[in-house]
Structure 1
Amino acid sequence: MILHAIAAKLKQRAKTDFKGRHYEATLIVQAVSWYLRYPLSYRDIEKLFPERGLEVDHSTLNRWVLAYAPLIEKRLRTFRKAHCGSVRIDETYIKVRGEWRYLYRAVDKHGNPIDFLLTANRDLDAAKRFFRKMLQDQPLLAPDRIGTDGAGTYPPAIAESRKAGLLPRTPVHYVTKHLQQGIESDHFRVKRSMPRVGGFRSFNTARRTIQGFEAMLWLRKGFELAGAWTVREQNRLLAICFGLPQANKG
């Protein structure tokens, strides 16, 4: 009875999620996941739809991604597992309207994703906001060891998080380039599908789209769920998140 009630709630939510759309919800989710999972442009995906007897303009695909990438991130966030306690934090550069912006990211020592934040600046305020976002909604994920690069903003940001009660105890903070190589490699995995020429057109577009890129990376890595974690299984979880029937059964 409980599972039936959950399924019914998800299906009802799907009606609201896709209200007013002229295409089936399963098709929209598939198109958005293509863009977020593979290094394809909107025009690349536009060319794929005639193979299914459909025509979708690239501008429509853009609107779908901006609308549903944040929803995918929000719903997949609930499947994240507690990390091992040892966290690596780093920033990478993102071009927005021809200017460099900064994507703060955190993974644990095994590469499991923790959180991210796009900021306009790389300073103490940005570091403090990232720690607050990473810790305030998930107090049980508070790390006891934090690895960073040599940026001077991290020690005061950690101290401020401790003072604000976001950290139950002061973590060990270590600065080592060798241990940061893992998260630097992880940056490439999330950036490989981003626009290569000119970057994003606006900060809001970048923020919403990056939510989807990060969420799709979480999905590819898996959430320690049992069984083989194939693309088919990933798509099944996406369908569950939106209360949709499983596509391509067989």
Structure 2
Amino acid sequence: MILSAIAAKLKQRARDDFRGRHFEATLIVQAVSWYLRYPLSYRDIEEMLLERGLEVDHSTLNRWVLAYAPQVGKRLRQFRRPHCGSVRIDETYIKVRGQWRYLYRAIDKHGQAVDFLLTANRDLDAAKRFFRKMFSAEPLLAPDRIGTDGAGPYPPAIAESRKEGLLPRMPTHHVTKHLQQGIESDHFRVKRAMPRVGGFRSFNTARRTIQGFEAMLWLRKGFGFAGAWTIREQNYLLACCFGLPVANKA
């Protein structure tokens, strides 16, 4: 009974999410996942769909991504495992309207995602906002070890988080280059599908789309489920999150 009620609720939510769209929800989720998973442009996906007899303009694909990439992140976030207590924090560069912006990211020592935040500047205020977002998301799970590079804003941002009560105790702060290699490699994984020419057109576009890029990386890494974790299982989970029938089911 409980599973039937959950399935019925998901199907109702799917009808609400895709109401007014001229294409089937399964096609929309498939197209959005292609863009977030692979280094494809909107015109690439437009041609791929045209090969299958479906005429979808690249501007429509752009609207789908902006609408549903944050939803993908929201639905998949519930499956993430808690971090192990040892967190690596770093920032990387993202181009928005021809200007460099900064994506703060955190993973644990096993590569599991912790949190992320896109900011206009790289300074103390930005670091404090990222820490506040990260620690507030899981108030009962504070890290006991934090690794960063030698950027100056991190020590005072950690101390400020402790004063605000976001950290129950002061974590050990490691400033070492070799500990950051894991998160620097992880930056590449989330940025490989991002626009390469000109970057994002607006800060809001970048923020919404990056939510989807991060979520798709969570999906590809897996959530600790037992058994195989191929593209088939990933698509199955994504379809279930939106209450949709599974496409190409064996």
| Cα distance, 1:51 vs structure 2 | 2.3
Question: Which secondary structure state, in structure 2, belongs to the residue aligned with residue 140 of structure 1?
Answer: coil
Which residue matches 1:39?
A: 39
Which residue matches 2:28?
A: 28
Percent identity reads: 85
TM-score normalised by structure 1 residue count: 0.99
**Given that residues 102 and 121 in structure 1 are in contact (C-alpha distance below 8 angstroms), is that contact kept between their aligned partners in structure 2?**
yes
Which residue matches 1:184?
A: 184
One-letter code aligned to 1:152? G
**Given that residues 106 and 183 in structure 1 are in contact (C-alpha distance below 8 angstroms), is that contact kept between their aligned partners in structure 2?**
yes
Which residue matches 1:216?
A: 216
Rounded to whole Å, the distance in 1 between the matches of 2:212 and 2:140 is 24
The answer to whether 1:164 aligns with 2:164 is: yes
Rounded to whole Å, the distance in 2 between the matches of 1:147 and 1:137 is 19
Rounded to whole Å, the distance in 2 between the matches of 1:12 and 1:237 is 17
The answer to whether 1:76 aligns with 2:59 is: no
Superposed CA offset, 1:61-113 (max 9, x none): 00000000000001111111111110000000000000000000000011111
| Cα distance, 1:197 vs structure 2 | 1.0
Superposed CA offset, 1:153-201 (max 9, x none): 1111111111111111110001001110110010000001111111111
Superposed CA offset, 1:184-223 (max 9, x none): 0100000011111111110000000100000000000001
Alignment of 1:30-69 (within 5 A): 30-69=30-69
Which residue matches 1:113?
A: 113
Rounded to whole Å, the distance in 2 between the matches of 1:152 and 1:53 is 55
Question: Which secondary structure state, in structure 2, belongs to the residue aligned with residue 94 of structure 1?
Answer: strand
Rounded to whole Å, the distance in 1 between the matches of 2:68 and 2:79 is 18
Rounded to whole Å, the distance in 2 between the matches of 1:8 and 1:76 is 19
Q: Which runs of 4+ in 1 moved over 2 A?
A: none
Rounded to whole Å, the distance in 2 between the matches of 1:238 and 1:199 is 27
The answer to whether 1:201 aligns with 2:198 is: no
Rounded to whole Å, the distance in 1 between the matches of 2:71 and 2:222 is 18
**Given that residues 82 and 140 in structure 1 are in contact (C-alpha distance below 8 angstroms), is that contact kept between their aligned partners in structure 2?**
no
Question: Which secondary structure state, in structure 2, belongs to the residue aligned with residue 116 of structure 1?
Answer: strand
Rounded to whole Å, the distance in 2 between the matches of 1:141 and 1:241 is 25
Rounded to whole Å, the distance in 2 between the matches of 1:219 and 1:149 is 27
Which residue matches 1:146?
A: 146
The answer to whether 1:245 aligns with 2:245 is: yes
Question: Which secondary structure state, in structure 1, belongs to the residue aligned with residue 247 of structure 2?
Answer: coil
Structure 2 gap ranges (5+)? none
Which residue matches 2:93?
A: 93
TM-score normalised by structure 2 residue count: 0.99
Question: Which secondary structure state, in structure 2, belongs to the residue aligned with residue 82 of structure 1?
Answer: coil
Which residue matches 2:14?
A: 14
One-letter code aligned to 1:44? D
Rounded to whole Å, the distance in 2 between the matches of 1:137 and 1:182 is 23
Structure 1 gap ranges (5+)? none
| Cα distance, 1:50 vs structure 2 | 1.8
Rounded to whole Å, the distance in 2 between the matches of 1:26 and 1:141 is 36
**Given that residues 148 and 174 in structure 1 are in contact (C-alpha distance below 8 angstroms), is that contact kept between their aligned partners in structure 2?**
yes
Rounded to whole Å, the distance in 2 between the matches of 1:140 and 1:52 is 48
One-letter code aligned to 2:194? M
Question: Which secondary structure state, in structure 2, belongs to the residue aligned with residue 139 of structure 1?
Answer: coil
| Cα distance, 1:19 vs structure 2 | 0.6
**Given that residues 132 and 166 in structure 1 are in contact (C-alpha distance below 8 angstroms), is that contact kept between their aligned partners in structure 2?**
yes
Which residue matches 2:2?
A: 2
| Cα distance, 1:140 vs structure 2 | 3.0
Question: Which secondary structure state, in structure 2, belongs to the residue aligned with residue 101 of structure 1?
Answer: strand
Aligned-residue CA RMSD in angstroms? 0.7
